[in-house]
Amino acid sequence: MNENITSGRLYVVATPIGNLEDITLRARRVLENVSLIACEDTRHTVKLLSHLGISTPLTSYYREKEQLKTARLLKKLQNGLDIALVTDAGTPSLSDPGAVLIREARAADIPVIPVPGPSALTAAVSVAGLETNGFFFGGFPPVKKGMREKFFQRLATLPYPLVFYESPRRIASSLKLCQAVFGDRRAMLFKELTKLHENCFRGRLSEILTQIGDSIRGELVFIIFPPGESNEQPPDNLRELLSWYKKQPGMSLKDAVGRISEDLNLPRGKVYREALAVWKTED
């Protein structure tokens, strides 16, 4: 390689997940000025570029050819070309192709520059009303039912909201598996975020299954709430509060004590002694 050649830059560009108005000014400028755009499906990305009046050359970069395409794109970057990486919608490498090229570019000391923007994950979480500082993102659950069930079982004890993407073909099966593994927890299912037919289904898993029926179309994000979260308001009295927590699916004495002592700023020992009495008398 010619030592006088400065390597190009790899821009990881988020694109609209539905509404084309969500493109950022910076993303538009980058897509217009790079030498090449690597995209999941050229047929999809050309629609966005046509809408924006951009004529930058395209090359496909999809999951099945990631290794082969990475080698070719890496060579172009090393020869000084700036390349933008995009997926069909949202942010690359979040349950979409991109991670392989990003790793190899960094290993070759090629600058990798994020151009943040739309994401179905952050869009769903932002309007879910999560009363927590954290959540678990599981991406797309495994396709095979047995592996999917084991995947959900490993997450059953996590005390966080669980966020997933899912295909319309598998959503009913996944929700039924979740109900079997997690119990009939409260959940939300977002369909076609930012698009014309955007919708949100809310309720227990069993209720959402009834709402969506046998068929549903479009891009889907679903959130399963922790076992202690409920639409019911907990009572003020400590003993009644402990009794309420005890009835929540998956709630242990230890978890209840921890939450109440923290929420009400009460001594943990006092709450624990009261909890022992409640758990013993109500068994």
Q: What is the DSSP string of 137-182?
A: E--SPPSSHHHHHHHHHHHTT--S-EEEEE-TTTHHHHHHHHHHHH
What is the identity of the amino acid at 14? A
Mean pLDDT of 172-180: 94
Closest CA to 229 of 281, 159, 153, 126: 159
Of 126, 136, 187, 130, the residue nearest 160 (C-alpha):
136
Question: Which of 176, 131, 183, 188 has its CA nearest to residue 157?
Answer: 183
pLDDT-derived band at 5 (thresholds 50, 70, 90) equals low
Q: What are phi and psi of 43, to 5 degrees?
A: -65, -30
Number of Cβ within 10 Å of residue 36's Cβ equals 18
Q: With 60 as the cut, is the pLDDT of residue 264 above it?
A: yes
pLDDT tens figures, 117-146? 999 999 999 999 887 778 999 999 999 989
With bands split at pLDDT 50, 70 and 90, how would you rate the model's confidence at 1?
Answer: very low
- The pLDDT assigned to 127 comes to 92
The pLDDT of residue 173 is 94
The two tokens of residue 250 are 């998956």
Q: Helices then strands (H, E): number in the chain?
A: 11, 10
Domain 10-118: CATH class, spelled out: alpha beta
7: closest CA among 111, 100, 113, 84?
Answer: 111
Q: Which of 28-32, 98-102, 124-128, 260-264 has the lowest mean pLDDT?
A: 260-264
Indicate the CATH number for domain 121-224. 3.30.950.10
Q: Check whether 60 has a pLDDT greater than 90.
A: yes
